[in-house]
Amino acid sequence: MVCPKCQSLRDQVIDSRLIEEGKVIRRRRECLGCHHRFTTYEELHPQKLRVSKKDGRVEDFDPSLIHAALEKACEKRPVSHEQLDRLVKEISRSLHELDEREVTSRQIGETIMNKLREEDEVAYVRYASVYRQFNVATDFVREVQNLHPVAS
């Protein structure tokens, strides 16, 4: 960070703390040239996430589509609205954490599956069977066995 006083680029951080509920990091810095102390604030600038589809189209990431998919998978399952909302948030967050401007619909599908697997097995298998378009019964069975590994 350029020193506001002497324009030196060399400084050291002497203190950093989280503020605004962890959304911002405040750092006290000291210029190694002139020992001037100054403060910087670091915060996340969420980038608009784009989704590239199988057919080559690219669309804005839309969390409501994830919500709809989850709702369908969790139909008649003991998964509350609050849980659904939380899942949507967690999935969105993991996708943003990939730190790419563009994710594939495949990455989204895999992320949804991973989260559902932790949340509700039936909903997971339901989603996975649609997502992977199982047409061979053994695939489906293998998937179920993965959930309940047979003790050997």
Binding site for Zn ion (CB under 5 A): 3, 5-6, 8, 31, 33-34, 36
- Of the two residues 8 and 94, which places its CB atom closer to Zn ion in the complex? 8
Residue 145 dihedral angles phi and psi, to the nearest 5°: -65, -35
Q: Classify residue 30 by burial, with Cβ atoms within 10 Å: 0-12, 13-18, 19+.
A: middle
Q: Cβ 9 to Zn ion, closest distance in Å?
A: 10
Sign of CA dihedral 138, 144, 149, 152: negative
Q: Cβ 27 to Zn ion, closest distance in Å?
A: 15
- Of the two residues 7 and 80, which places its CB atom closer to Zn ion in the complex? 7
- Of the two residues 11 and 119, which places its CB atom closer to Zn ion in the complex? 11
* CA-only gyration radius of the chain, Å: 23
What is the token pair recorded at 134? 């199982």
Q: Cβ 41 to Zn ion, closest distance in Å?
A: 19
Q: Cβ 8 to Zn ion, closest distance in Å?
A: 5
Q: In this structure, are strands 50-52 and 24-31 parallel, antiparallel, or unpaired?
A: unpaired
- Of the two residues 24 and 34, which places its CB atom closer to Zn ion in the complex? 34
